[in-house]
Amino acid sequence: MFSDKFCKLWIILLFLTPVLAYSQRSRPEKPLAVIHFRFDGSQILIPVTINHGKDTLYFLFDSGCEINLLSLHIASSLGLKGKTDAGLSGWSNEMTYVPEVQANTMDIGTVSIPYPEFYLEGLSNAAFEGISVDGVLGYDLLKRYIVKIDFQKKEMSIYRSGFFHYPPGGEVLKLGMNFSTPTVEGTLVNDQGQPFTSTYHVITGGNFGLLLNGKYIQKYSLNNALSVSGTITRQDLLQPVTYTECTVPSFGIGNYKLSRVSTLYSAKVNDTAPGKEIAGAIGADVWKQFTVIINLPKDEMYLTRQ
């Protein structure tokens, strides 16, 4: 038989445990690393090192980057030699084949990615405000960690994956995946006030507000229901692509509503996904209006307006 003293202690612990658990859950997590990045309005540039090298390399971070890219020149200087060729495509879906290599480690601040794989690209003309771009990364970081992007402070905070206590005042959205690119639901409203809810790729480094697929535009006759301002030609991976520039009067993500979102579309852009309709992609002109937390291990995205 238990003593009265033991019973009283058990009762105290019974009532105290939920309080302790709540206290632990409500305490904000500490980041493993805080990276100060450069931001030009559409792209994020962060410092990294490969194989614990002394030289700092500069990579673009983009949630839409499914496989790490590395400059051929940098790979050569690190003694990384390409092996089998792998397929790589851009917005226009034109395919090219490039060498693939594997390094021992890639360090982002105090966070390390073991045995990262890279597709090797020329990147000779890739520059960011006068700084040579040495590579691009995205999914390889997102699949391992929780990543917070504060566009106002120009800070990227990296957290251990698992349960995360989101700050109050924002909204948690459900993320899907199209292969290795995160997706989220959004609602486009055309000039006639008609809403169209569909799935969009999450592209934090996209130089646009929305990028709509040509077939999506055609299916819903949006070319006749959005205000067109002109055209613009941009270099894709293999060829220049001419886009129609227009404005979406209203676009919604969760409970957030954005007005007059700059939008591009082209007949050459047609992203697809097994079993679901992809309207297009949401780019940096939208995401930079928020503080964004991408919790890919839990299929969640947190947004709060800046």
> Taking residues 38-62, what's their average pLDDT?
96
> Taking residues 172-201, what's their average pLDDT?
98
**Rounded Cα gap, residues 289 and 206, in angstroms:** 14
33-160: CATH, from 3.40.1010.10, 2.40.70.10, 3.40.50.300, 3.30.9.60: 2.40.70.10
pTM of the model: 0.88
Q: Would you place residue 95 in the very low, low, confident or very high pLDDT band (cuts 50, 70, 90)?
A: low
Under a CB-based contact definition with an 8 Å cutoff, are residues 228 and 243 in contact?
no
Whole-number average pLDDT of the chain: 89
**For residue 191, what pLDDT is reported?**
98
Span 171-305 CATH architecture:
Beta Barrel (2.40)
Cβ burial 223-232 (10 Å sphere, 16+ → b, else e): eebbeeeeee
| Domain limits, CATH 2.40.70.10, in the chain | 33-160, 171-305
The residue that leads in pLDDT, 196 or 274, is 196
- What's the chain's length in residues? 306
Q: Which of 46, 66, 58 lies closest to 140, judged by CA?
A: 66
